[in-house]
Amino acid sequence: MVTLEELVPSDHLLRRIDAIIDFSFIRDETRHLYCEDNGRPALDPVLLFKALFIGYLFGIRSERQLVRELQVNVAYRWFLGLRLTDKVPDASTFSQNRRRRFRDSDIAQRLFDHVVEQAMQQGLVGGRVLYTDSTHIKANANRRRFTMQEVETTPQAYLAELEEAVVADREAHGKKPLPPRREAEPEPTAKKISDTDPDSGYMVREGKPKGFFYLDHRTVDGRHAIITDVHITPASVHDSVP
């Protein structure tokens, strides 16, 4: 006889997460999105979101591939509370819930915040050192199909104020002044707006591909590398703004 519990290594990442984060709160957070006395029995929302969490955590790019991985990976089954003989939900169940039930709600952000709060309670977030950086994400848009739109030029006065504050702080602590910064490039008077995805932004950066992209800004706590916030902007927005 072999049990599922014995097949999952004691140091597996999912065991470590399961020991710290209690996902049962998902049922209360999603209760208002379900009908209590109509329709077929729904898939447990805890299982649904934990499965999507596995897909994100281990870089599984599609829900069909996620279902195949859940079928054969005993650690994934253990994390979801599925026995070896339990049927894995169909890929369409994941996609239709995501597209219909949760599409126009803020449930993803609320679940994200709740997990961060639990990490704080467990001492995994220190709050003393946090850093933010952005990663470009390609938009589903042809870079040659766009219209030009005039924009109002605004001086980035806040950057100058930040520089003044840094200089004053260094002087107060007897430190040498920073070397002068190179002059900022003039702001454009027109920008490209994608015809297929107008929410994206045209990126022109040294060493980066040109085209329509988004920027995924992530703020990470330095103690245990816990992501504490995610903010998406068009790629045409400078990192200093968010």
Q: What pLDDT score does 185 carry?
A: 58
Q: Are 133 and 217 in contact (CB under 8 A)?
A: yes
CA 193 to chain centre: 25
Q: What pLDDT score does 132 carry?
A: 93
SS3 220: strand
Q: What pLDDT score does 241 carry?
A: 83
Q: Are 45 and 102 in contact (CB under 8 A)?
A: no
Instruction: Give average pLDDT by consecutive 10-residue segment, the chain, 242 residues.
Output: 88 94 92 80 89 93 94 96 92 86 86 94 92 93 84 62 81 82 63 90 86 94 93 89 84
Q: What pLDDT score does 122 carry?
A: 93
Q: What pLDDT score does 137 carry?
A: 93
Cross-strand pairs, 146: 194
Q: Are 77 and 83 in contact (CB under 8 A)?
A: yes
Q: Name the residue among 169, 157, 137, 104 with its Cα closest to residue 235.
A: 137
Q: What pLDDT score does 142 carry?
A: 86
Q: What pLDDT score does 34 carry?
A: 83
Q: What pLDDT score does 154 carry?
A: 57
Encoded amino acid at 50, one letter: K
What is the C-alpha to C-alpha distance for residues 145 and 95, in angstroms, rounded to an integer?
30
Q: What pLDDT score does 188 carry?
A: 60
